[in-house]
Structure 1
């Protein structure tokens, strides 16, 4: 194994051992605090274009299995870890972490002082970086831009995919959806049609759905501003659930603003307070942007959840339309079942309302 380096915008350089693909990679360097779930994190499309730093010190100890991938490919640019386990122990393991990275063509640095990397990100904010063998010859850290709409284009499907079910028909708009979202709908008995993020209201109407779900996805929500009129029209006609990026896009469509967090929320232990019940949920999160406090039209939207740590907005509800949004991921279960009522309410709204036969003009 060869020595390679992570070089940050600050000029800081971190040495490690190169595993995976021997290629140079650039991207936004971020970190995730989860203690488990590295396979799901690696395959989450929301990490497109980013270099992921794992805070947990040992990665690969339970190997890679055949069913925990959240998508068919790895979309992140690179991975930074402390210790890599080359002898995984789990009955379902079919591949080592290092072999998984090599097969996916993603460079990974092991043996890095990840505590120092995370400390720098927390101090300076998420920043661009490069994985390279020649850090002294680096002249550019790449052209990664979170406001590039092509990030979503890279991870969204190109044509509709349909899954049969005996229950309500849900259209899942794919901005970079995770398989676990689809599974949650299918397990609830829903018929599901996954559509590209560019699908218009007219095209969705032709599918005759009972409700619409806007998925998670990568990058800056403002990169998708041209699609906001379509999103608003869709949400005015169908019960809608927006998750993560979907939450931010619905907020933008109804006049709110979004802003970049200093280093984002990425992990499986983020406390979120339900403002109606007062209960605190433990939630999984993966986002670098948030709905800006004070930008919401309170005559139209109500804040339903807040992050306990930094008080950022974690959820919204429309005051009269059947629209709910959450910044966290209710289909994942670190709590383990804290956020399940989100899906229950969405499906209840569908059964109760179906397609609304009215639209509003603002």
Structure 2
């Protein structure tokens, strides 16, 4: 949504960081994802976009039409000058409602002031049951090996059966498994993908070697193996300020009031606007029944000052990567890592 209102170098940097070919294709891709994936799975996935604008600020009709057509976004006016606390509460309540209260807040009172002009919000909520639920009676405390070499006890869920499996030891020193969800659409298929480092490897090595090519090979192999699966039961949540990370990806102009060009949103007579802060929050809850997850991003714009043979043991008793994906299209909804220590876990949602 920010790219849709950007021009010049500001737009080019955002488009490049998103690996899009053009703004038109980015808008169309967002619309297609919504129509072809999100809507058919509306009882399991919810995406919502919202633009909050300061009172009396003029928004270009062309920008409003773009948000409505491609992002199904609404525009709400709030009084950032005289009632900043009320504005923050209204935004946080909207996010809480859209994420089933998994994310009660996305912005803080200090994020909004008299110079705030626009706040763009994107929310993603996911809830799905496993195709084959884990039995609660089989969950027991087991040893988990932390990054620093020490151990801790975590509740470990257990199950066995045929799972899609890919041995990536030769390329990234890891094993990859797909745990299927009970997907409501017959045309689409939701899975929880786990990338588990080999015993003689570690998460850092796997992350350094991981490429799109390797993932594409693994995701299209569709080979099944009889597996005895052990997966931690966990809940993680995190919040981040993404300005530095986005700048490292090459998105710089939009944060510089002297260089930012958001003239696609407001008339050129409006004083130069720039992004002052980007906040991201995410929560994921993995249990015997399934997975519930949510993520939200706030962009604050203002004036600056197979055959069952011998069973394979797939024991997630060490740090691993995980993803929530729609298999048919390859759409990535959530990606994160579980390290056994809640504060070091992270979840990032794709902006869709």
State the TM bucket, normalised to the shorter chain.
under 0.3
Greater length-normalized contact order (CA 8 Å, ≥ 6 residues apart) = 2
When normalised by structure 2's length, the TM-score is 0.27
When normalised by structure 1's length, the TM-score is 0.27
Larger Rg: 2
